[in-house]
Amino acid sequence: MMPGKANNWHDTAPADGFSWQSVALPNGKTGMRVYSGSYGKKINDAFHLCVKTLLNAGHNLIIDDVADGSREVNIWLDELKNDSVFTVGLACSITSLEQREIARGYRTLGSSVEQYYRVHHGVKYDLMIDTDKLSTQEAAKKIVEVLQKY
């Protein structure tokens, strides 16, 4: 939810906010990765600060973030080391990702497969959910069930 002029979602020219970057994928195809410009990086840092501020004020949070593999997850874990954190990874097959991307109609084609190869790399979760096997409702129930024992 940033000003339109800060981002470039139409082609791969860099923007101060966020823009797409074409990248080669391990499967030989081309994917689309979100690139953060200087303003985008400031926004991301502010997001982290907002989360920490809300936690310090006593709020319980669910943080939904497409992290950049273990590098970014480790930043989160370091920033939240004094808080109770339970990590959940959501994954499915490339085929499902491609079908869901097309069905939604507003996604940039190739962005979900790019994330498939990157976001879980080197990350160990407290709970991993396979959304090919569980519906949204079943996944939510599983998370609650495991959290109650945590």
How far is 136 from 123, CA to CA, in rounded Å? 22
In the chain, where the domains are located? 4-149
Work out the burial of residue 112: count CB atoms within 10 Å of its CB; fewer than 13 is exposed, 13-18 middle, 19 or more buried.
buried
At 33-88, the pLDDT tens digits run 999 999 999 999 999 999 999 999 999 999 999 988 899 999 999 999 999 999 99
Buried b (16+ CB within 10 A) or exposed e, 49-59: eebeeebeeee
How far is CA 73 from each of CA 57, 79, 103, 134, rounded to the nearest angstrom?
22, 10, 29, 24
Q: Provide the 3-class DSSP secondary structure of residue 51.
A: helix
Angle between helices 94-104 and 111-118 (to 10 degrees): 150
pLDDT at 1 over 70: no
The band of 107, judged by pLDDT with boundaries at 50, 70 and 90, is confident
Supply the CATH classification number for the domain 4-149: 3.40.50.300
At 117-141, the pLDDT tens digits run 999 999 999 999 999 999 999 999 9
126: tokens are: 């407290």
How far is 138 from 8, CA to CA, in rounded Å? 36
How far is 101 from 110, CA to CA, in rounded Å? 8
39: tokens are: 């303003």
What confidence score (pLDDT) does residue 11 get? 84
